[in-house]
Structure 1
């Protein structure tokens, strides 16, 4: 009878191993997949390309900030030494109203290069404000409220007479 218990135990162990083996194939993607099984995705998902921002004059300043920033980043990409006129000209070419713009001087009162240049567009009763300077970490844009003076920039700005 001892032999029979040993055989029965061996058969039970073999059955358990076979069951686990087949379960493992199913759980871990092995075995023969059925035609209705969906293929599994591997690797990382490919990002969906997004359209570049566009100028939407009927929308708010906040909704046009991405476009404002893209224009200004393109200026710097084309010329790392860009000055105020470069930004104003690019913003005009992009569709912003030149008469609604302000820009600070590229040079200080003692005729040194300014650490940064600020430029702004009064747009939909708000200000799209940009700043660029090699020491300031690149181009920065923001939407700010119009000042009590009706301007966007504090202090003296230079005439945009070109």
Structure 2
């Protein structure tokens, strides 16, 4: 093996020390602080008030426009109680702005007084569509959708109970 001249060794040693020192300094250097992201709040251009969070009721909108709020109300009642009480859903939908006189709800108790495995509720929307929800132990997570109206402007098949509370 050929020998290197003696004068080249000090350069190799100095280079090795400088590389080690550079790595050590890099490892000890603090990481740069993250740049904060500005928070933006949507505001209403007319009133300069914060825009509402989540879905909103659109009284002049379509059934599709109102499906997000119908779905949110349904999910909220279900999450709060896992309820299969028709009244809980109807009352929450009325509070959100839906028209009670356009609603239908199926029985939430069986003929022997047990909680129904599944119940449905609906809101007739316009002349052709319905917002329909279904909840209950056999359903799992709540189901909501827009469907076409049935004959005579009904949304649900079969017997429904009066909304008389």
* TM-score, normalization by structure 1: 0.68
Question: Where in structure 1 are there 5+ consecutive unaligned residues?
Answer: 1-48
C-alpha displacement of 1:148: 1.2
Find the counterpart in structure 2 of residue 156 from structure 1.
159
* Pairing 1:128-143 to 2, within 5 Å after superposition: 128-143=131-146
**Within the alignment, does 1:53 sit opposite 2:55 as a pair?**
yes
RMSD over aligned CA atoms reads 3.5
- How many correspondences in the alignment? 148
- The answer to whether the 8 A contact 2:84-2:115 is kept is no
TM-score, L = length of structure 2:
0.66
- Contact 2:132–2:145 (CA<8 Å) still a contact in 1? yes
Report the alpha carbon displacement of residue 149 of structure 1 after superposing the two structures with TM.
2.7
Q: Distance in 2 between matches of 1:51 and 1:92?
A: 19
CA distance in 1, matches of 2:62, 2:88: 24
Q: Helix, strand or coil for the counterpart of 1:105?
A: coil
4+ long deviations beyond 2 Å = 109-112
- The gaps in structure 2 that reach 5 residues or longer are 1-41, 43-51
